[in-house]
Amino acid sequence: MRLYSYLATLLFLGFGLTYYTRISPWHVEFLNKTLSFQLEGGELHLSIFNIYAWVVIAYAIVLPFYYRHSDGESKALVVARACRTLMLEKRRFSNAESLAARILLLKFFFAPLMVSWLAQHLSGFFDLSATLNGAAAASMGWMELYNKVLHAKLIHLVIFFDVFFFTIGYMVDHPKLKNTFVSVDPTLSGWLVCIICYPPFNLGLKSFIGWYSTDSPAADAVGVQFALNLAVLLTFVVYSAASLSLGFKASNLTNRGIVETGVYRFIRHPAYTFKNLAWWLGAMPVLWLAVQRSPLEVVAILLSLCGWTTIYIARALTEERHLLMTDNGYREYMQRVPYRFIPGIV
């Protein structure tokens, strides 16, 4: 049984690598991007594919030790048996088989994204010491130094920790980590409103409703830019603190137990609130320029920002619908924390 579980999981991993490198043009282009890491002895260049491939190899090496202490079948084996039975007996998947299939689909979609983003944010922060030692940095005032050098690096560092917990959450689930899957959203609307926020699907959405924000907003006045950048950083700090509160339960579309610690003591969707706040802050310079140029530009920017916020409101609503499908304590949590996005308001 354990051998079959391991082999089925290897087959799933192999299918994933084949799809990412041979079938999906977007993944092929995405994984072939090269990242640079500044080291004391020089510069290290790695493609995202190489990083992901090494993660998969490490995952495959560790799996036998995992299955050695596991009595159940792997999700890949459950789905493989279910597909075989489906073809022979023409019956539908059971609830357990459907859950296993949705978990695999979740891992299939999010795992390469999370690993690549983890590597990209690490690469973005890695050359911090080299940047700080530059001659240009030495001649800057402290606010200009923050705006032009430190801010982008700190954003990479903060988001790295957010992505770290989601990467582990998608790739590993174990009773000892207290992050086993209770359920995965079974509705099409829940999946659609979630994955449309991630590449490659969000690329089409951006072209349709526009994208005007940046993590490093610019302004003519150094003090104004510093204030904006600092505000954006603080919103991302709270956003990442939400992921820290979730710990290894962090993952989209899932019910892995209710979390009430950290920022979840105050509102039910802190990550969505502060991510959207960061986007609105990041769009302020563009919006200010539009005010001086054309009312139509202002309307376009506001509609775009409202569109993205509406999508995340829909995500929050579909997530709550999912969490209320089972008697897991979420209804009681809603009573203790009555506000979704803003304490005392909504």
CATH topology assigned to domain 128-346: Four Helix Bundle (Hemerythrin (Met), subunit A) (1.20.120)
For 218, list phi and psi in degrees, rounded to 5: -105, 150
For the stretch 149-196, pLDDT in tens is: 899 999 999 999 999 999 999 999 988 889 999 999 999 999 999 999
216 secondary structure, DSSP code = S
How is residue 265 written in tokens? 């003591």
Q: What angle do CA 127, 133, 138 make, to 5 degrees?
A: 130
173 touches 100 (CB < 8 A) = no
27 secondary structure, DSSP code = H
pLDDT confidence of residue 60: 92
pLDDT confidence of residue 175: 86
Which residue, among 253, 79, 250, has the nearest Cα to 172 in the 3D structure? 250
pLDDT confidence of residue 105: 97
Mean pLDDT of residues grouped by 10 in the chain (346 residues)?
Answer: 88 95 93 83 85 93 82 89 82 90 97 95 75 61 88 95 96 90 96 97 95 94 96 98 96 96 97 98 96 95 98 98 94 97 93
For 343, list phi and psi in degrees, rounded to 5: -55, 130
For the stretch 110-141, pLDDT in tens is: 999 999 999 999 988 876 555 555 556 667 78
Residue 34 DSSP SS3 = strand
Place of tokens 């996005």: 341
pLDDT confidence of residue 317: 98
Residue 181 DSSP SS3 = coil
37 touches 156 (CB < 8 A) = no
> Which residues does 174 contact at the CB level (< 8 Å), separation at least 6?
66, 180
Domain boundaries, the chain: 1-126, 128-346
C-beta neighbour count of 13 within 10 angstroms = 19
pLDDT confidence of residue 128: 57
pLDDT confidence of residue 1: 61
Instruction: Give the max Cα distance, the chain.
Output: 75
pLDDT confidence of residue 131: 57
How is residue 248 written in tokens? 């290894």
Taking the C-alpha atoms of residue 21 and residue 19, their distance in angstroms, rounded to an integer, is 6
pLDDT confidence of residue 132: 56
- What residue type is assigned to position 266 of the chain? F
For 172, list phi and psi in degrees, rounded to 5: -135, 130
Place of tokens 């005032």: 141
